[in-house]
C-alpha cells in the first residue's frame, strides 16, 4: 500500500514523532496508518525500557482541586532534567495524570497506569510511553495523594513544591472568597515551614521518644535537680512539637498567633467553623539520589 507526504504528516501530528521515524513506520507497515501507529508505539515501549534505569530526579510537583473544590490531588512526576520539567508537553502529561486521579480515584500508581486517561481513549501508561519516545527522557509518575472534602491547593516555584490541604467546614463557608484566600495562606505556610504532622495526636511514639532523649541529654548537662530536669524535658519536647506540628506552628504572616487560631478566626469571621483535617506536601525529587554527570568521561566515550 503506497503512502504520501500527507500521510507522513498525519502520523507525525498524531504521535509527535520525527518525520523520518514516521516515514520508516509507514514503510514498515505498507502504508497502513493503524499498523504504523502500533509500530511507533512498540518502538516507544522499547525506547522506554532502555531508559527505565536512568535516574529521574527532576520533574514537577503539582496540585489541583476539582471544579467544585470538593476533591483534590497532589502528584509528583519525575524526569531526568529540569529542562524537560519546563516542557509544555511534559506539563500537559502531569495535568492529565492529575485529572485522571481526580476522576478515577486509583488505588496506587500501578492502578493509575491502567486507567483510561482523562480526555483520551489511551491509558495513562500508553501516553507515558509516547511522552518518553517524543521527549527522549525517562519519565516516572512517582506518587500521588487524593483527598475528598473542602480542599485547597498551592504550587511553589513552578512545581518544586506542591501542597494539598483538606479542611473540615461547611459548603457555604467553603464557597466564600475569604476561604479560598485562607486556603492559599495555609498552603504557603506548609510549603515554607515544612510541618511533619497535623497535630501532636498524629506524632508517632518513636518521634516523641527521640525528642525526649535529645532533651534529656541537653538537660542533664545543666546539673540541676531531677525534678527541674523533668520540667525542662517536658518544655523542650513541647517546643519541638510546636515546630513540627502544623496546627501549633506560628503563623508565618502573623507570628503572634498559631495556625489553628488563624484558621479558627477566619471561620468565626465567616460565621462558622473551619479546621484543618489533613495535608500533603511534595518536594520534587526529595529522597532520590541525583545522577552525577561526568562531562569529561561522557565526551571521551563519544569520541571513542
Q: Are residues 27 and 101 in the same domain?
A: no
User: 32: domain CATH number?
Assistant: 1.10.8.10
pLDDT exceeds cutoff 80 at 291: no
Same-domain pairing of 79 and 163? yes
Q: What total of structural domains would you count in the chain?
A: 3
CATH of the domain at 166: 3.30.479.20
The reported pLDDT for the residue numbered 296 is 57
The answer as to whether 185 is a domain residue is: no
Query: Looking at the structure, do residues 70 and 161 belong to the same domain, yes or no?
Result: yes
Do 68 and 208 reside in the same domain of the chain?
A: no
87-96, 231-240, 260-269: which has the minimum mean pLDDT? 231-240
- Mean pLDDT across 103-132: 96
pLDDT digits (tens, 9 = 90+) for 11-30: 876 766 777 888 888 999 99
Total Cβ atoms within 10 A of residue 208: 14
Check whether residue 224 and residue 164 sit in a common domain.
no
Q: What is the pLDDT of residue 46?
A: 42
Indicate if 114 and 222 belong to the same structural domain: no
Specify if 292 maps to a domain. no
Task: Examine residue 289 and state whether it is found in any structural domain, yes or no.
Answer: no
The reply to whether 263 and 279 lie within a common domain is no
Task: Flag the least confident range among 127-136, 190-199, 258-267.
Answer: 127-136
213 shares a domain with 149: no
Q: Quick one: 120 and 81 in the same domain?
A: yes
Full-model pTM: 0.77
- Geometric angle at alpha carbon 68, from 66 and 71, rounded to 5°: 45
In this structure, the answer to whether residues 166 and 241 fall within a common structural domain is: no
Boundaries of domain holding 10: 5-43
Chain segment 37-56, per-residue pLDDT in tens: 778 766 664 455 555 556 66
In a domain, 195, yes or no: no
| Residues 117 and 133 placed together within one structural domain of the fold | yes
Output the pLDDT for position 15.
Answer: 65
Q: What is the mean pLDDT of the chain?
A: 88
Same domain for 37 and 69: no
Q: How far apart are CA 227 and CA 233, in angstroms?
A: 10
pLDDT surpasses 50 at 255: yes
pLDDT for the residue 52: 53
Is 53 a member of any domain? no
Contact assessment for residue 233 and residue 239, using Cβ atoms and an 8 Å cutoff: no
Amino acid at each position: 500500500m503506497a503512502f504520501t507526504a500527507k500521510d507522513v504528516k498525519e502520523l507525525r501530528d498524531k504521535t509527535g514523532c520525527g518525520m523520518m521515524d514516521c516515514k520508516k513506520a509507514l514503510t514498515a507497515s505498507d502504508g497502513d496508518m493503524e499498523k504504523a501507529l502500533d509500530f511507533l508505539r512498540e518502538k516507544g515501549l522499547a525506547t522506554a525500557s532502555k531508559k527505565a534505569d536512568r535516574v529521574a530526579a527532576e520533574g514537577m510537583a503539582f496540585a489541583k482541586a476539582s471544579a467544585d473544590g470538593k476533591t483534590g490531588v497532589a502528584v509528583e512526576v519525575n524526569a531526568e532534567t529540569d529542562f524537560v520539567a519546563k516542557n509544555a508537553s511534559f506539563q500537559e502529561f502531569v495535568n492529565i495524570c492529575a485529572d485522571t486521579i481526580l476522576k478515577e480515584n486509583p488505588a496506587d500508581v500501578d492502578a493509575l497506569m491502567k486507567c483510561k486517561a482523562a480526555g483520551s481513549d489511551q491509558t495513562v501508561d500508553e501516553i507515558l510511553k509516547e511522552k518518553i519516545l517524543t521527549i527522549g527522557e525517562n519519565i516516572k509518575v512517582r506518587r500521588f495523594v487524593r483527598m475528598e472534602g473542602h480542599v485547597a491547593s498551592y504550587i511553589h516555584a513552578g512545581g518544586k513544591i506542591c501542597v494539598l490541604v483538606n479542611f473540615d467546614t461547611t459548603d457555604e463557608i467553603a464557597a466564600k472568597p475569604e476561604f479560598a484566600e485562607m486556603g492559599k495562606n495555609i498552603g504557603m505556610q506548609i510549603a515554607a515551614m515544612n510541618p511533619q504532622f497535623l497535630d501532636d495526636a498524629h506524632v508517632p511514639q518513636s518521634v516523641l521518644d527521640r525528642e525526649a532523649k535529645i532533651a534529656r541529654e541537653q538537660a542533664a548537662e545543666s546539673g540541676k535537680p531531677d525534678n527541674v530536669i523533668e520540667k525542662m524535658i517536658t518544655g523542650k519536647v513541647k517546643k519541638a512539637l510546636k515546630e513540627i506540628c502544623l496546627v501549633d506552628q506560628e503563623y508565618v504572616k502573623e507570628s503572634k498567633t498559631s495556625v489553628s487560631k488563624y484558621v479558627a478566626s477566619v471561620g468565626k469571621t465567616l460565621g462558622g467553623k473551619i479546621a484543618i483535617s489533613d495535608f500533603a506536601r511534595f518536594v520534587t525529587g526529595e529522597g532520590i539520589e541525583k545522577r552525577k554527570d561526568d562531562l569529561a568521561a561522557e565526551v571521551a566515550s563519544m569520541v571513542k
